[in-house]
């Protein structure tokens, strides 16, 4: 990272004549750009014919950046193989679950398990590294781009063989695999490793254990591709950090926890979803997730948009000031770099309608004026770099649980663990409570409160971890359909929620999905889900009309655990979480001020920065330590050193 905040975006000079490059760099300096990502989609320009390399044009690009004091996130261009690759090696193209081979014409057209793809990808990565390892513009390796965005799972024969090898390493014996997958059901018991395939299209539901392990294998295959390129780059440039841009909070086909462990610095892309209410809260979820993936350390926003994107059914432009608010929200939640896709808006290609820092209409535009103003503001916030965000609350999230619950044979199709996690996070956001995300097996010791919106699958280690947190005095809130199965998607017997019956002091006999909202004794409503539960050691705080518990609280060790047996309406959920926060001693920032986002970043030496971002059309007041009040104008944001 540069001194201060990294600012810039993807620069794709290969799309433009060289006469444009000088103008681009001059405008970058005007906008305060100090970092650009280059080379991401340049494989066909760097290696136009297999084995024939052309770096002359790219030398001039890198030299221009160095001459103007702009650092390069230098990409290995392996996310988009050239036409010659698919023409020469059609067996390396991906195959979907229906057996269709996908062809060249977009990007990420390769099977992640293909040895031919890996060989060619490592060759171009090595050529780039050898050429530019001593170049003064090189600041960071940007390995690949958005792994698995379009080819997260491949079902070809090469992938099938790699899947079997992965399973052998995981289970060692067929007996262990058959036990884990429950293959006695539907006569699926395997007698030879060669019989095992990816979960291709079948007449009915696939085996849940097979589907879950294939998701895990597919994620691991992408991590292994990253690791191969990263290790090569480390050999050639041991002092240059490496990253790849995850899509934390938006892309659920990769295990981001596993991927983040391999990165020198976590970077991510985030785009607003047009149809979402309160899009800025979804942004906060993604930013909090990125920070958590980096262990609380600063992270890099590799991409977001200056205005509209191009890939939604209706691509909404950002309102005046929204570009700034979005950027400062990411900064407030731990980003040390604010970057966009892309620098100059494309004239042709599939993303020509995706906004950019320099739009089609040029510099006499709202977007350009806001880009220049943001660059100047970030330059003045250099002291924020390196500071961190401290959260008292953690929300448990695990990709394996999301994947397991994605199996079609569930009690109801209306439970969405990701949306429920976002809903609980949003309730905390509205209460002014900053929240980390955490893996169920991660370190929870630094938190006062841990919330578990919907964790269908949990390992024995994860289950014990949460129990130990409560036993030592922590506060817990668990939502329905949590702790139900083990890491192989096998039901925990003896009554639900199997992993946490003792922690919660509740035993559930039967799930009772709902086809209409249900009224609780308190006047709250539940929807989608209910359970036939009875308390063992817990106290009942709210019930259904039938008298069965809807909200319980159980003392456990030196701590306590709340449990919900339904999806409460937003207001009732907010009250449950507010109750748990009060009991746990979790303080809220600017509580009771709807739409006002308040987050603090701090340095170890005591310096801090309070970000107050007003997402509403009305002025809002924030009270600082010591009682001083600061008014944040409608749609404005302020950063207050402390």
Q: Write the CA distances from 588 to 107, 281, 441, integer angstroms.
A: 44, 16, 26
Q: Is 311 annotated as a binding residue?
A: yes
Sequence-separated (6 or more) residues with CB below 8 Å from residue 143? 75, 76, 78, 125, 226, 229, 230, 233, 242, 243, 244
Nearest residue to 505 (alpha-carbon basis) of 571, 474, 546, 549? 549
Locate 446 and state its tokens.
């630094």
Find out whether the peptide bond into 236 is cis, omega within 30 degrees of 0.
no
Contacts of residue 96, defined as CB under 8 A and 6 or more positions apart, other chains included, come to 102, 155
34 assigned ligand-binding residue: no
Contact 393, 449 (CB under 8 A): yes
Q: How far apart are CA 140 and CA 89, in angstroms?
A: 31
CA pair distance 53, 48, nearest whole angstrom: 7
Query: Is the Cβ–Cβ distance between 258 and 223 less than 8 Å?
Result: yes
How do beta strands 71-76 and 138-143 pair? Answer: parallel
Q: Output the 3-class SS for 559-578.
A: EEEEEECCEECHHHHHHHHH
Q: In Å, what is the CA distance from 421 to each residue of 114, 272, 285, 416, 444? A: 35, 17, 9, 9, 18
Annotated ligand binding at 154? The verdict is: yes
Is 435 annotated for ligand binding?
A: no
Q: Cβ(631)–Cβ(593) under 8 Å? A: no
Hey, what are 557's tokens?
A: 């060790």
Q: How far is CA 457 from CA 69, 264, 424, 490, in A?
A: 49, 29, 18, 9
Query: Which residues are identified as catalytic?
Result: 146, 303
Q: Cβ(93)–Cβ(111) under 8 Å?
A: yes
Residue holding tokens 């509580």?
591
Alpha-carbon distances of 626 from 278, 433, 591, rounded to whole Å: 31, 20, 16
The residue assigned the tokens 């490059």 is 21
Residue 36 phi, psi dihedral angles, 5° rounding: -135, 155
Annotated binding-site ranges: 107, 111, 145, 154, 156, 311
Annotated binding-site ranges for substrate: 107, 145, 311
Annotated binding-site ranges for Zn(2+): 111, 154, 156
């Amino acid at each position: 990272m540069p001194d201060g905040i990294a600012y810039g975006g993807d620069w794709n000079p290969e799309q433009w004549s060289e006469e444009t490059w000088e103008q681009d760099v001059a405008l970058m300096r005007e906008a305060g750009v100090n970092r650009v990502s280059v080379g991401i989609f340049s494989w066909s320009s760097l290696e136009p014919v297999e084995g024939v390399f052309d770096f002359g044009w790219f030398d001039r690009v890198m030299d221009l950046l160095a001459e103007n004091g702009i650092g390069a996130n230098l990409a290995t261009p392996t996310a988009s193989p050239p036409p010659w690759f698919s023409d020469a090696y059609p067996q390396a193209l991906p195959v979907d679950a229906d057996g269709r081979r996908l062809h060249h014409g977009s990007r990420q057209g390769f099977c992640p398990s293909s040895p031919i793809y890996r060989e060619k990808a490592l060759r171009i990565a090595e050529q780039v590294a050898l050429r530019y390892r001593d170049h003064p513009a090189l600041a960071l390796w940007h390995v690949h781009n958005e792994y698995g965005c379009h080819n997260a799972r491949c079902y070809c024969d090469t992938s099938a063989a790699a899947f079997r090898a992965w399973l052998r390493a995981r289970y060692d014996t067929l007996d262990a695999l058959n036990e884990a997958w429950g293959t006695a059901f539907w006569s699926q018991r395997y007698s030879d490793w060669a019989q095992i395939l990816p979960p291709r299209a079948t007449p009915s539901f696939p085996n849940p254990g097979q589907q879950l392990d294939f998701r895990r294998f597919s994620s691991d295959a992408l991590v292994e591709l990253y690791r191969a390129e990263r290790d090569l780059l480390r050999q050639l440039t041991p002092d240059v950090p490496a990253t790849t841009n995850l899509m934390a909070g938006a892309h659920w086909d990769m295990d981001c926890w596993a991927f983040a462990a391999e990165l020198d610095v976590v970077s991510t892309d985030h785009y607003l979803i047009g149809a979402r209410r309160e899009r800025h809260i979804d942004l906060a979820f993604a930013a909090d997730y990125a920070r958590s993936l980096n262990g609380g350390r600063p992270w890099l926003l590799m991409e977001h948009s200056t205005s509209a994107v191009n890939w939604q059914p209706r691509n909404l432009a950002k309102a005046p000031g929204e570009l700034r608010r979005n950027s400062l929200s990411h900064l407030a939640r731990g980003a040390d770099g604010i970057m966009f896709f892309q620098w100059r808006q494309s004239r042709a290609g599939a993303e020509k309608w995706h906004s950019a820092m320099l739009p089609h209409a040029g510099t006499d535009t709202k977007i350009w004026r806001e880009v220049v103003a943001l660059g100047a503001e970030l330059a003045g916030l250099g002291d924020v770099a390196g500071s961190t965000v401290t959260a008292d609350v953690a929300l448990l999230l695990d990709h394996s649980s999301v994947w397991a619950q994605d199996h079609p044979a569930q009690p109801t199709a209306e439970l969405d663990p990701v949306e429920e996690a976002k809903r609980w996070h949003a309730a905390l956001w509205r209460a002014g409570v900053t929240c980390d995300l955490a893996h169920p097996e991660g370190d929870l010791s630094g938190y006062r409160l841990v919330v578990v919106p919907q964790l269908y699958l949990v390992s024995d280690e994860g289950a014990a971890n949460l129990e130990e947190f409560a036993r030592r005095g922590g506060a817990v809130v668990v939502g329905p359909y949590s702790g139900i199965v083990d890491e192989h998607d096998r039901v925990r017997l003896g009554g639900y929620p199997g992993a946490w019956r003792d922690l919660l002091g509740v035993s559930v006999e039967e799930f009772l999905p709902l086809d209409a909202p249900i009224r609780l004794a308190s006047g709250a409503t539940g929807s989608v889900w209910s359970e036939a539960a009875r308390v063992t050691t817990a106290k009942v705080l709210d019930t259904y009309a039938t008298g069965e518990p809807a909200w319980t609280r159980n003392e456990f060790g030196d701590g306590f655990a709340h449990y919900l047996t339904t999806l409460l309406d937003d207001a009732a959920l907010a009250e449950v979480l507010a109750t748990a926060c009060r009991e746990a001693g979790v303080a809220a920032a600017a509580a009771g001020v709807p739409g006002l986002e308040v987050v603090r970043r701090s340095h170890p030496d005591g310096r801090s920065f309070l970000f107050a971002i007003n997402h509403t059309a009305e002025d809002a007041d924030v009270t600082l330590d010591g009682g001083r009040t600061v008014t944040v104008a409608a749609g404005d944001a302020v950063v207050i050193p402390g």
